[in-house]
Amino acid sequence: MKLPSSIVTMLLALSVSPLVQASDPLPGVGASTEGTSVSGLSSGAFMAVQYQVAYSASVSGAGIVAGGPYYCASNLLLTYAGICMGAIPFFPPNPNLMVAAAQLFASNGDIDPLINLQKSRVYVFSGTKDTVVYQSAVNATVDFFKGVGVPNMNLVYVNKVPSGHALLTPSFGNTCSANKAPFVSKCTVGKAAYDQPGAILSHIYGPLNPPAKMRTGRLITFNQREFADASTSMADDAYAYLPASCTQGISCKVHVAFHGCLQSEKVVGDDFYGKSSYNEWADSNNIIMLYPQVNDSQPLNPQGCWDWYGYTGPNYAYKSAPQMKAVQAMIERLTLSSSGPMAMH
């Protein structure tokens, strides 16, 4: 029997090209249901604010690097995103409006009760050379958190470092004042390299063991599509770092790190999730790192930003928003005790 030419062509292609395999599911590793925290840069910082506020009953703290206040861009009086980034001189965001919005959403049950934020620990950072999200916007973030009940003793604001728009790591990245990809930079503070992931995690959790000199865990790739479809702008794959201790019976905390615009794996590779110091701190302190991913697949999201301005819908800052629900489902998966095969990255 003679095979059709189309079948022959397909078989020849398969003989020289390996089949592309889907990534494995995110495994359950018995992570703790308590002590979850979040952080992020730029749009990831806006997302971290949203997630901390919306899920305050289960999130213990947040690290906000160059991010504006909750629900800023979709407020009826603040529809221009430039205002929320502090780019309009003499017209900074009004945190009182966002406090009122959060109070309304909480009263309607769209987000957790704001009283939970009285126990939250929040780190906020703004570089003096940042020309993407200006300090006036980040000042409003600090005032917002105070307005919704975060005590002054639980809130730290670092705003004197001459850095650009970037996550600051001790041994990788651009010069301190840079405002360019991969938006990871090195800065010296007090004659020492500033380790921002360490500063964030230490503020949230208290004194920690020093970061690991050599990682013992696994950096895995997992299928993100089961948590959110492509219409949400979330990518096919995402990443997680699992310290060895967290797969050997210890119930570890979960920290979610949200990348910024133009900072997903599609744009900068592993510069955000693999080359900062997050994983070293996580490794020696029983913390699982979760790195969800968004890309530029949606017309209203050409730079691969997290949704802080409503491109997935007007309820983007609610617990029920698609990106918010997806991240919550990932955290819940990690808390399950059953574990499947894990893809190495």
Catalytically active residues, by annotation: 42, 130, 165
Q: CA-to-CA distance for 213 and 170, rounded, in angstroms?
A: 13
For 132-166, give the DSSP string: SS-HHHHHHHHHHHHHTT--GGGEEEE------SS
Q: How far is CA 274 from each of CA 36, 137, 163, 270, 271, rounded to the nearest angstrom?
A: 20, 29, 21, 5, 6
Q: How far is CA 246 from each of CA 216, 250, 279, rounded to the nearest angstrom?
A: 11, 5, 13
Quote the longest CA-to-CA distance of the chain.
80
**CA dihedral sign of residues 111, 115, 116, 118:** positive
Structure tokens at 315: 């309820």
Tell how far CA 82 is from the center of its chain. 21
Q: CA-to-CA distance for 135 and 171, rounded, in angstroms?
A: 25
Angle at 11 between CA 8 and CA 14, to 5 degrees: 150
Structure tokens at 269: 């590779």
Q: CA-to-CA distance for 135 and 133, rounded, in angstroms?
A: 7
Tell me which amino acid residue 163 is.
S
Q: CA-to-CA distance for 84 and 69, rounded, in angstroms?
A: 8
> For the chain, first and last CA: distance in Å?
44
Q: What secondary structure letter does DSSP report for 75?
A: B
